[in-house]
Amino acid sequence: MAGQNRFFRGGLHERSVIKADGRPAGTCVFISHKWEDKEVARLVAMELQALGLDYWLDVDDDDSMAAAREGNEAAMCNAVERGLQNSTCLLALISRRTRGSWWVPFEIGAARAYSRTLVFLVHKDVSDRPAWMTLGTVISDRLDLDSWANAIGAPTRLVEVRKAAISRDIDSVLPRVRILR
């Protein structure tokens, strides 16, 4: 079964239930990115969806988009916190542009406050890493992505996904194998 955006166009799907202990029901990945990387974030979201993982992406959330249009930072913070409350982990897209982001570090800090797992997907054009990436799992290539997806229980078999055209789009973001120094 394909994953879904739990917050697509503002409507919470039935799988976005928060359990009595305050944790979200089922795996959901909050995708953190700098606005200029929104198309790359969409590619990552499509890959997660193909793997059968639910996700939250601000560009598909009506509350986030309304807050951005209005320049309402408080409403944006509320939308981010709602997304994190319904997510089990935060996947931060680390690109060359991330260095100039105010929101990515805020979202990482908020995810830590909610005790969410941190995952850092390092774009293939990035060679250096911020020190705070030691706080989570680093995905630097396709092998890392596959391993992480398996570890969090991606329901779709990776072989099936890798045959799909959508999966080849992620090659523009992650190399198949990379060694970071």
Rounded Cα–Cα distance for residues 138 and 126 (Å): 13
pLDDT attached to residue 172: 73
Looking at residue 30, what is its pLDDT? 96
| Whether pLDDT at 10 is above 50 | no
pLDDT mean over 46-55: 88
More confident residue, 15 or 44: 44
pLDDT at 20: 45
In angstroms, the CA 153 to CA 181 distance is 29
Identify whether the C-beta of residue 95 lies closer than 8 Å to the C-beta of residue 35. Answer: no
Write out pLDDT tens, residues 77-102: 999 998 999 899 999 999 999 988 99
Residue % of the chain over a pLDDT of 90: 41
Task: Average the pLDDT over 62-75 and give the result.
Answer: 90
The DSSP code for 26 is: S
Residue 3, pLDDT score: 64
Q: What is the pLDDT at residue 170?
A: 74
Cβ neighbours of residue 104 closer than 8 Å, sequence gap 6 or more: 32, 33, 34, 92, 93, 98
Distance CA 70, CA 167 (A): 35
**pLDDT 10s digits, 147-167:** 899 898 887 665 465 555 455
Report how far Cα 108 is from the mean position of its chain's Cα atoms.
Answer: 11
Burial class of residue 1 (count of CB atoms within 10 Å of its CB; 0-12, 13-18, 19+): exposed
Q: What is the pLDDT of residue 1?
A: 52
Are 151 and 89 spatial neighbours (Cβ–Cβ below 8 Å)? no
Q: What distances in angstroms separate CA 18 from CA 22, 82, 151, 164, one per listed residue? A: 6, 11, 22, 32
Mean of the pLDDT values across residues 37-65? Answer: 89
pLDDT value for 110: 95
Mean pLDDT, rounded, for 66-77: 92
Domains and CATH numbers, the chain: 8-14+22-172 (3.40.50.450)
**pLDDT (0 to 100) of residue 161:** 57
Tell me the residue ranges of DSSP E strands in 3-88. 28-32, 54-56
pLDDT digits (tens, 9 = 90+) for 90-146: 999 999 999 889 999 999 999 999 999 999 999 988 888 888 899 999 999 888 988
